Each structure stands twice: as structure tokens, then as C-alpha cells.
Amino acid sequence: MDDKRFAAQYEEYRAATEAYLSNLFADGAADAAWKTLYASMRYSLLSGGKRLRPVLTLACAHLGGLTDWRDALPFACALELVHTYSLIHDDLPCMDDDALRRGKPTNHMVFGETMATLAGDALQPEAYRLIAEAPRLDAHAKVAAVAALAWASGADGMVAGQVLDLTDYGRDRATLDDLCARKTGCLLRAAARLGCAAAHAQPELQQALEDYCACLGLAFQIRDDLLDVVGDEATFGKPIGSDREEGKTTFVDLLGAEGCAREVQSLTDQAIDALCGVDGAAFLVALARRLARREK
């Protein structure tokens, strides 16, 4: 797929996601005592970003045969709500204590720690409400989506990864892989599961897409670790060197900068190989290649 076609398709998915998200929590409780909660939720939810997870969900639904991929927007945006909550909580002083996210002050820097915590708390159940109320998807798809999102974000998934990230869990490659598979990879794999649930895709296709997303997730995290050392702060959107300042062992510590670059390429190749034999996967192939050389 050439750059022009890829960019147009990505933008179509991204713009649809952005439009859907922009309508959430816009007029609720406008005059209520808790209206600041809505402002805090929307501040982080609409702060930009690549919208990678919803884009992957929509692309997987499209590839899985959903007649109109827009019908999967509630599932895709539910995943983005959970991702956003995780970022709000990740930035809190009791976690990573970051002041900058996507080039803007983090939620707690604007709304305070209490409101930021509550905004993250609220985004979680609201994600499941989006799934439950998805107007054009059936009950079977909704149950599968709830299970997928709970698996990805729960005690054995993303939250477990966050626990491991905050503890002296391990300092070798195997344990760091495990940490990243949970903290980053689970939500990307959930994108495949949610998209396939919406489309009632065949199990073989879902497995191929999950394998693709698993490799993509690890490559994404290694690239993130590399950018935390060699990236441009204005482009990257958060302070360079923050992981080192926090004393975290990263892939750069284990592999070096050149080793990280090689590993990103190897994992990208593995992601693409997972799609071998999948018709219509050109967009996902192009996406993997572009993420391997991203700067933010």
C-alpha cells in the first residue's frame, strides 16, 4: 500500500474515532456539582494522540468482514477510554509522577490528583457502557467485547503490567518482555479481539490478528524506550530520559540503542509474517512498518 492510500485510510479511521469521542460527556451534568469531572475526563480523552488502538480495532473489524466498520466505533472507543484512564493514572504522583503528556500538562497538573483519579475511575465503567449500548451490534458480539476488554485491562493484564513496572520485578529480557506484554501488549491484542467480536470473525483470523498485535505491542514499547533516550522532547511529547531518572530498566539498558533498532525491525517482520495468507491486510502491513520508524 502506498503512502497516500495508507494515510487516507488511517485518517478515515482516526477522524471517525475523534468525532465519536468528541460527543462523549459533552453535555452531561453541565450544571451539576460534578461538572469538573466531565471536564477532566474530556481533557485527557481529547488531548490528541495517534488513536492507534481504536484504529486497529476498526481495521480488524473491517478485515473481519463487518459490513460497515463504523458499526464497531463503540467498541473501538471503549478501548480508547480504558487506554486514556490508564494514562491518567500512570501519570499520577503515586505512579510515574509525570507532568507532561502529549506535550500538554498531565491531568492531575490541571485538575488536581483527586479529580484526575476520579476521572480515570469514571472512564472505566463508561467504556463498558459504550459496549453495552452499541446500537448496531448484537448481544453475542457485546459479551465477547466485554470479556476481551476485561481480560486486557484486568488484574492479569494491563494492571498487572503496571504493578510490575512499579516494582523491582525483573531486570532480564524475559521478565521485561512479560511486563510489556501485559502493560502495553494486552490492550493492542484487545483491539484485535474487539474488532473480531464486532465482525464475528473466524477464529483463525482472530489468532492471526492477535499474533500481529502482540508483536506490534512489543515493538512499540521497545521503540518507546529508544525514543526516551534519543528522541526529541518536543516531538515525543514528554520528557526525554524520564525512565532513567526513575531508575527503571528498559530495553535500551539490555540491548543498547542499536540492538533496540534491530529488535524493533525483527518484531515488525514477525508481525507482518503473522498476516501471511490474510487477504486484504495491506493496511496493517503498512501500519507496522510506519510504527517501526515513528518519532512520537
Show the 3-state SS of 243-286.
HHHCCCCCHHHHHHHHHHHHHHHHHHHHHHHHCCCCCCCHHHHH
Arithmetic mean of pLDDT, 175-199: 96
Give the confidence band of 102 by pLDDT, cuts at 50, 70, 90. Answer: confident
On the 0-12 / 13-18 / 19+ scale of CB atoms within 10 A, 269 is: middle
Alpha carbon distances (Å) from 145 to 132, 135, 229: 9, 14, 37
Q: Is the pLDDT of residue 27 over 80?
A: no
Arithmetic mean of pLDDT, 270-281: 96
The pLDDT assigned to 54 comes to: 98
Give 100's Cβ-side CA count (13 Å radius).
Answer: 12
The pLDDT assigned to 239 comes to: 58
The pLDDT assigned to 99 comes to: 92
The pLDDT > 90 percentage for the chain reads: 80
Arithmetic mean of pLDDT, 150-168: 92
- Is 92 in a helix, a strand, or coil? coil
- Is 104 in a helix, a strand, or coil? strand
Q: Quick check: pTM over 0.75?
A: yes
Class of domain 3-291 (CATH, top level): mainly alpha
Q: What are phi and psi of 161, to 5 degrees?
A: -60, -40
Average pLDDT in the chain: 92
Higher-confidence residue of 232 and 184: namely: 184
Arithmetic mean of pLDDT, 111-127: 97
The region that residue 280 occupies, defined by phi over 0 for left and psi between -120 and 50 for alpha, beta otherwise, is left
The pLDDT assigned to 257 comes to: 92
Q: Is the pLDDT of residue 237 over 60?
A: no
Give the confidence band of 178 by pLDDT, cuts at 50, 70, 90. Answer: very high
Domain boundaries, the chain: 3-291
